């Protein structure tokens, strides 16, 4: 039976022009939820809700189990079960802690399509789901228009050049509008306050980013340099990863070694991540992807560094043992 909520929720279009990518959704959700793990799961679920074509009891949705999410995103299945419950209406959602006014989707259980028995988790869109997809599409259009040097379409009700306003601004008003703004802005600080961090945390972020940019230039990969505007926008989430992964305790040499792996051997560090990650970062690691997957990438980098260290130690020990077995007399005879 279809509920009133189902009638209100606009199903995402199956047209390729209206679909938004998982990364576009993540950028929007990260600003709303302020929890990278929750935002990553939500972005993955909302992305596939755009392709939903199966129905359970008349409701169009998708079926996603914890094991499937773990295989796609990397991590333990139980972790994704908890994250989905936090974002859905059933279970014990922590909307207040995630700063969500409404759940992002609803959850139910039933058999897979074409089966009469069985129990899998079904996920259905809500009004918040449709709103997030619309916001991600608008943000993507804004970025595309900004890159092309074109202005976005005016909002509904805005006065265009072909319309004459009822009250036209005077010459003095125009001059005031054209003057450069003072150093104190009323609108710009909103984003900075949202991502504001302490001076100590800012120094840790700057150290991490400057090291990354220096390594990218060293290996002729200047296109991977992280822009200061993007770093400022994601400074808070970037520092969360630095803190959780205990990157602060690393020496400059150790940090350079680990970031070199991410810069030059990303495919090795991302072997447990999804194909979508590999495709999006096919030319190198993007800042948004590091914020999204950093907590999964860093342990793998540590493992690769440890393997390399063990291999070097083994080779050194092997050379020393070989030299000891040959002995100085045998070496003198070989020289003669």
What is the spatial distance between Cα 116 and Cα 56, in angstroms, rounded to a whole number? 11
Question: What is the largest distance, in Å, between two alpha-carbon atoms of the chain?
Answer: 104
Tell me, yes or no, whether 214 lies in a domain.
Answer: yes
pLDDT of amino acid 3: 43
Question: pTM, whole model, 2 decimals?
Answer: 0.46
92 and 210 together in one domain: no
Q: Which of 135, 151, 173 is the last residue of a domain?
A: 135
Residue of 298 and 322 predicted with greater confidence: 298
Q: Is the pLDDT of residue 284 over 60?
A: yes
Residues with Cβ within 8 Å of 4's Cβ and at least 6 positions away in sequence, in order, are none
Tell me, yes or no, whether 181 lies in a domain.
Answer: no
Place of tokens 């009469």: 116
- Output the average pLDDT for the chain: 74
Give me the mean pLDDT over the 40-51 stretch: 88
Under the banding of pLDDT at 50, 70 and 90, the label for residue 195 is low
Tell me, yes or no, whether 188 lies in a domain.
Answer: no
pLDDT of amino acid 160: 47
Residue of 328 and 8 predicted with greater confidence: 328
Q: Which of 17-21, 58-62, 101-105 has the lowest mean pLDDT?
A: 17-21
Residue of 128 and 319 predicted with greater confidence: 128
What does the DSSP 8-state code read for residue 175? H
Q: Which of 133, 118, 76 has its CA nearest to residue 272? A: 76
Tell me, yes or no, whether 218 lies in a domain.
Answer: yes
pLDDT of amino acid 94: 53
Q: Which of 89, 115, 135 is the last residue of a domain?
A: 135
Q: Which of 135, 156, 185 is the last residue of a domain?
A: 135
Q: Which of 75-84, 98-107, 210-219 has the lowest mean pLDDT?
A: 98-107
pLDDT of amino acid 206: 93
pLDDT of amino acid 299: 85
Q: Which residues of 217-244 are buried (b: 16+ CB within 10 A; e: fewer)?
A: eeeeeeebbbeeeebebbbbbbbbbbee
Tell me, yes or no, whether 335 lies in a domain.
Answer: no
Tell me, yes or no, whether 187 lies in a domain.
Answer: no
Residues with Cβ within 8 Å of 244's Cβ and at least 6 positions away in sequence, in order, are 295
pLDDT of amino acid 64: 86
Does an H or E element contain 59, and which? Answer: strand 59-63
The range of the structural domain enclosing residue 278 comes to 193-318
At residue 109, φ and ψ (nearest 5 deg) are: -130, 140
Count of domains forming the chain: 2
122 and 9 together in one domain: yes
What is the spatial distance between Cα 180 and Cα 228, in angstroms, rounded to a whole number? 22
Q: Which of 116-130, 170-184, 260-274 has the lowest mean pLDDT?
A: 170-184
What is the spatial distance between Cα 296 and Cα 158, in angstroms, rounded to a whole number? 45
Give me the mean pLDDT over the 267-288 stretch: 82
- What percent of the chain has pLDDT above 90? 10
Q: Which of 106-120, 166-180, 255-269, 286-300 has the lowest mean pLDDT?
A: 166-180
Place of tokens 């009323």: 186
Q: Which of 39-43, 88-92, 250-254, 322-326 has the lowest mean pLDDT?
A: 322-326
Give me the mean pLDDT over the 28-43 stretch: 83
Q: Which ranges constitute the DSSP H helices of 160-198? A: 171-178, 189-194
CA 25 to chain centre: 9
Q: Which of 18, 68, 25, 56 has its CA nearest to residue 43? A: 25
Q: Is the pLDDT of residue 313 over 80?
A: no
Q: Which of 34-38, 178-182, 259-263 has the lowest mean pLDDT?
A: 178-182
Q: Which residues pair with 106 in a beta bridge?
A: 124
What is the spatial distance between Cα 263 and Cα 318, in angstroms, rounded to a whole number? 31
Tell me, yes or no, whether 31 lies in a domain.
Answer: yes
What is the spatial distance between Cα 181 and Cα 189, in angstroms, rounded to a whole number? 13
At residue 257, φ and ψ (nearest 5 deg) are: -65, -40
Tell me, yes or no, whether 235 lies in a domain.
Answer: yes
Contact 152, 142 (CB under 8 A): yes
119 and 40 together in one domain: yes
Give me the mean pLDDT over the 62-67 stretch: 87
Q: Is the pLDDT of residue 316 over 70?
A: no
- What percent of the chain has pLDDT above 70? 69
Give me the mean pLDDT over the 187-211 stretch: 72
């Amino acid at each position: 039976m279809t509920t009133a909520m189902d009638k209100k929720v606009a199903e995402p279009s199956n047209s390729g022009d209206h679909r938004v990518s998982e990364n576009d959704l993540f950028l929007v959700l990260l600003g709303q939820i302020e929890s990278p793990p929750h935002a990553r799961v939500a972005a993955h679920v909302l992305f596939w809700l755009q392709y939903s074509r199966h129905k359970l009891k008349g409701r169009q949705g998708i079926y996603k189990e914890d094991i499937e999410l773990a295989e796609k995103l990397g991590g333990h299945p139980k972790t994704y079960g908890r994250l989905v419950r936090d974002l859905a209406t059933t279970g014990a959602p922590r909307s207040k802690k995630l700063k969500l006014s409404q759940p992002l989707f609803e959850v139910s259980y039933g058999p897979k399509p074409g089966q009469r028995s069985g129990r899998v988790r079904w996920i259905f869109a809500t009004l918040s789901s449709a709103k997030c997809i619309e916001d991600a599409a608008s943000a993507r259009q804004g970025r595309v228009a900004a890159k092309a040097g074109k202005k976005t379409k005016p909002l509904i009700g805005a006065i265009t050049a072909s319309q004459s306003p009822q009250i036209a601004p005077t010459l003095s008003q125009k001059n005031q509008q054209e003057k450069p703004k003072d150093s104190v802005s009323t609108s710009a600080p909103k984003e900075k306050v949202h991502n504001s961090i302490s001076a100590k945390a800012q120094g840790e972020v700057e150290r991490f980013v400057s090291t990354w940019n220096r390594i990218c230039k060293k290996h002729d990969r200047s296109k991977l340099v992280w822009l200061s505007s993007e770093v400022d926008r994601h400074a808070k989430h970037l520092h969360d990863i630095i803190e959780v992964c205990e990157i602060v305790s690393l020496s400059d040499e150790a940090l350079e070694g680990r970031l070199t792996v991410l810069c030059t051997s990303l495919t090795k560090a991302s072997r447990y991540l999804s194909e979508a990650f590999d495709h999006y970062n096919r030319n190198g690691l993007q800042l948004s992807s590091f914020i999204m997957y950093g907590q999964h990438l860093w342990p793998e980098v540590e493992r690769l560094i440890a393997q390399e260290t063990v291999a070097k130690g083994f080779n050194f020990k092997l050379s020393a043992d070989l030299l000891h077995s040959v002995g100085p007399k045998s070496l003198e005879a070989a020289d003669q």
